[in-house]
Amino acid sequence: MAGTRLILVLGDQLSRTLSSLRRGVKGRDVILMAEVWDETQYVKHHKKKIAFLFSAMRHFAAALEADGWSVDYVRLTDEGNRGSFTGEVARAIKRHAPERVIVTEPGEWRVLQMMEGWEEDFGVPVEILPDDRFLASHHEFQDWAKGRKQLRMEYFYRDMRRKTGLLMDGDAPEGGKWNYDAENRKPARRDLFMPSPKRFEPHETTREVLDLVADQFSEHFGDLEPFWFAVTADEAEDALSHFLEEALPHFGDYQDAMLKDERFLYHSILGLYINAGLLDPLEVCQRVEAEYEKGRVPLNAAEGFIRQIIGWREYVRGIYWLKMPDYLEENFFEAERTLPSFYWTGETDMACLKAAITQTKEEAYAHHIQRLMVTGNFAMLAGIDPKHVHAWYLIVYADAYEWVELPNVLGMSQFSDGGLLASKPYAAGGNYINKMSDYCGTCRYDVKTKTGEGACPFNALYWDFLARNEDKLKGNPRLNQVYATWARMKPETKQSYRASAHAFLESLDYDG
Ligand code: FAD
Ligand code: DLZ
Ligand code: SF4
């Protein structure tokens, strides 16, 4: 019989169907899982994110053991824990003398770099398998991208629809259109029934982890409790069923809406479970399709949701692996400021930012439009260095891993790649936020006032951003109208926008 193999399973690989586990043989192989200090520190993750992952890892290890696997689980505070994947694999090789190490490729480029040195470091073969929980392999995405002048999610998404057969009617898209986004931009009304996400009581393992995190990571951003995330695949399934019944029917209509007292609206809050491996993305989409087929949800909701997963989620992963490591350095606007301190405290008079950041601190969650059009939009307009913006997003959200966070932040929200991912910057003044939310009604600033004391800061910042980046953006056909408006403004008006923006930016406290 062949000798033991060491199968390393990472914290975001908690899937029973993982490619490395499919290669294992019970009774012969050992599964290694390790809580390591370095992974908690390369950015100082939100407390809730660490608690979620450690508890989910411990539950996953226990489930594998109950299923007959031999699992070597290293806890953060175990004696001798060397604090890194490399150190823990080295120690495990000493304990088990495996004939080879098997691992499913990591989500992050940083970790792949680490792994690529292991064979030489350890003198043991190391097999890195593809992560086939994603629909498109790296090769498939590279082939798709090759020779295209512009990469656009929509065309990639259509290929993924054809590949999966999701919402297809033979060769044609269900209902005759590929994309129903035009129906998905309604502002929410407060009198609508608002579901809330499924919440789970922390059980024993989670309580132990919460104590550990309170003890070891008290300096990290965010509130640890109340903690209500699912930590097992069964619980995540419950959260999915709850979403399908309660929120999915309205997911499309109110996808871009924001309400002060409703943190979740009709969003799924499933991203953290999908990214950690507790839910399979294709199965989630198949469940959504089944709801549509049974007539329980409209097509715009089902299509909108499925597009986020087989379209955007796959597309940003493709871009990440296509462009790393250079992608980290992109800074199209040469933005240099550090982050305003209120990104960590939520203490600002701007009601929209206060709401988005306070909820981020408390929940390790904000929905897409808050991330894109409130915190992201502000950072781009204010000229914050994208490296700082990237670090902030990677820290604060429970669903954040670099492969998905970086393209969303650098590409989609900061336009730092100069238009590889998005066709124009998602820049907006106060009017957009006012249209899509109820934040402005309670804000100290007046959204209708353009400049000077008491004016909504987004208004002047918007024009200042366009003015200072005119050389870089003027050739973009999607901005022709905006620049035509700017050109028609009187010099005093232009001057007043720019002076207001500068005065406002000077008035803020910044990191460092
Ligand atoms: P829903 O709104 O219910 O959407 C359903 C699912 O679709 C999500 O769970 C997710 O799996 C997928 N999805 C939706 N939009 C995207 C997208 N743009 N890219 C990839 N997947 C998507 N998503 C992350 O998973 N991790 C991140 O670190 C992350 N950082 C972001 C940073 C910025 C600046 C922006 C603009 C977006 C970011 N997103 C990120 C994408 C999106 O905002 C989150 O996936 C979503 O808000 C998660 O909440 P949800 O599960 O309720 O999603
Ligand atoms: C995010 C994270 C954290 C905080 N801690 C661990 C850990 O202790 N052990 C582990 O295996 N994984 C952890 N992770 C997830 C990894 O950072 C993630 O697997 C890599 O970044 C690759 O995506
Ligand atoms: Fe935000 Fe401006 Fe509205 Fe205040 S007025 S909530 S700053 S958009």
For residues 349-368, average pLDDT: 98
Strand 172-173 to strand 168-169: parallel, antiparallel, or no bridges (unpaired)? Answer: antiparallel
pLDDT tier at 138, thresholds 50, 70, 90: very high
Q: Output the CA 376–ligand 2 centroid distance in Å.
A: 25
Distance (Å, rounded) from C-alpha 159 to C-alpha 162? 5
In our burial notation (b when 16+ CB lie closer than 10 A, e otherwise), range 18-52 reads: bbbbeebeeeebbbbbbbbeebbeebbbbbbbbbb
* Res 93: pLDDT: 98
- Host H or E run for residue 101: strand 100-104
* Res 247: pLDDT: 94
Backbone angles phi, psi at 133, to 5 degrees: -75, -15
Q: Give the residue, by CA position, lying nearest to ligand 3 atom 7.
A: 350
Q: Is 108 in the pocket of ligand 2 (CB under 6 A)?
A: yes
In the three-class reduction of DSSP (H, G, I as helix; E, B as strand; rest coil), residue 270 is classed as coil
Ligand 3 mutation target, pool 260, 432, 433, 450, most atoms within 8 A of CB: 433
Least distant ligand from the CA of 38: 2
For residues 174-193, average pLDDT: 83
Whole-number percent of the chain with pLDDT over 70: 99
- Which ligand 1 atom is nearest residue 281's CA? 11
* Res 222: pLDDT: 98
Ligand 1 mutation target, pool 368, 388, 403, 409, most atoms within 8 A of CB: 368
Q: Is 433 in the pocket of ligand 3 (CB under 6 A)?
A: yes
Distance (Å, rounded) from C-alpha 6 to C-alpha 427? 49
Backbone angles phi, psi at 404, to 5 degrees: -105, -35
- Which ligand 2 atom is nearest residue 40's CA? 4
Distance (Å, rounded) from C-alpha 331 to C-alpha 465? 15
In the three-class reduction of DSSP (H, G, I as helix; E, B as strand; rest coil), residue 494 is classed as helix
Q: What's the pLDDT tens digit per position in 207-245?
A: 999 999 999 999 999 999 999 999 999 999 999 999 999
Least distant ligand from the CA of 302: 1
Q: Do residues 31 and 72 lie in contact, with contact meaning Cβ atoms separated by under 8 Å?
A: yes
CB within 8 Å of 19: residues ≥ 6 apart? 104, 129, 130, 131, 132
**Is residue 63 predicted with pLDDT exceeding 60?**
yes
User: Could you check whether 5-129 and 342-507 share the same CATH topology?
Assistant: no
Q: Give the residue, by CA position, lying nearest to ligand 1 atom 18.
A: 312
Nearest CA to 381 out of 478, 247, 292, 500 is that of 500
pLDDT tier at 150, thresholds 50, 70, 90: confident
Q: What's the pLDDT tens digit per position in 396-431?
A: 999 999 999 999 999 999 999 999 999 999 999 999
For residues 8-28, average pLDDT: 97
Q: Is 351 in the pocket of ligand 3 (CB under 6 A)?
A: yes
pLDDT tier at 1, thresholds 50, 70, 90: low
CB within 8 Å of 14: residues ≥ 6 apart? 56, 57, 60, 233, 276, 277, 278
Which class is 138-197+247-323 in CATH?
Answer: mainly alpha
Q: Output the CA 421–ligand 2 centroid distance in Å.
A: 26
Q: Is 399 in the pocket of ligand 1 (CB under 6 A)?
A: yes
342-507: CATH topology? DNA Cyclobutane Dipyrimidine Photolyase, subunit A; domain 3 (1.10.579)
DSSP state, residue 278? S
**Is residue 83 predicted with pLDDT exceeding 90?**
yes
What residue ranges do the domains of the chain occupy? 5-129, 138-197+247-323, 342-507
Q: What's the pLDDT tens digit per position in 276-286?
A: 999 999 999 99
Whole-prediction pTM: 0.97
Mean pLDDT of the chain: 96
In CATH, what is the architecture of 5-129?
A: 3-Layer(aba) Sandwich (3.40)
pLDDT tier at 95, thresholds 50, 70, 90: very high
Q: Give the residue, by CA position, lying nearest to ligand 2 atom 21.
A: 108
